[in-house]
Amino acid sequence: GENIEVWPEVLQNMKSRGLKQVELFLADGVVGMKAALTRTYPKAHFQRCLVHVMCNICAKVRVDDREKIMNEFKQIHQQTSQKEAAAVLHEFYAKWNKAYSHVIKGLREIEPDLLVFYNYPKQIRASIYSTNMIESFNNAIKRKAKPKAEFPTEQSLDVFIGIQAMSYNDRYFNRIHKGFGQGQDTLES
């Protein structure tokens, strides 16, 4: 289960297994994760998944306004610079605050985590403003686990997931994800 107590333990476990430094941490709005990340990896940047943010907005606005609001919010990740994106975001606030002050208030609270991906090379931004890559991997594991129905022990589940992860890594080992090849020099520096 995802709760505030589990994240420090998960991150400490990752650190104890050799993950020394994290550059960017991309997540949905799970409670406590950013605070735990800041304590465990203080130099890491935290990016809120914009797809999850959009889903949350959709759940809180009238059906008649959803398409228009989503089209306007999507403009945030289609800008060429963080400054332009912030201007679009603030225009979004101004336009929708009267009708949806609770939504705008929530966005203002997480604003520092919405535009972090603009600090990275343009070529990889489309890959790092959402958790789509992670969700794809999770779905691949779910597809493989579904026929199993249940696992006799927690350890057997851990082994199964580990094997799936290694298989996934083997399959995509030589693949460079969209944009990362062009931005490699910038990322390494």
pLDDT in tens, the chain (189 residues): 566 778 888 899 999 999 998 999 998 877 788 888 999 999 999 999 999 999 999 999 999 999 999 999 999 999 999 999 999 999 999 999 999 999 999 999 999 999 999 999 888 888 888 887 778 888 888 888 888 778 889 898 889 888 888 888 887 776 666 666 666 666 666
* 11 and 103 co-located in one domain: yes
* 147 and 67 co-located in one domain: no
* 65 and 32 co-located in one domain: yes
* 40 and 114 co-located in one domain: yes
**Per-residue pLDDT at 132:** 78
Exposure class string for 54-74: b at 16+ Cβ within 10 A, else e: bebbbeebeeeeeeebeeebe
Distance of CA 38 to the CA centre of its chain: 16
pTM of the model: 0.77
**62 within a domain of the structure (yes/no):** yes
Instruction: Provide the Cα torsion 134, 33, 48, 67; round to 10°.
Output: 90
Helix (H) or strand (E) holding 148: none
How many structural domains compose the chain?
2
**Per-residue pLDDT at 182:** 65
* 18 and 107 co-located in one domain: yes
**180 within a domain of the structure (yes/no):** no
* 49 and 136 co-located in one domain: no
**Per-residue pLDDT at 53:** 95
Q: Which domain holds residue 122?
A: 6-128
* 95 and 120 co-located in one domain: yes
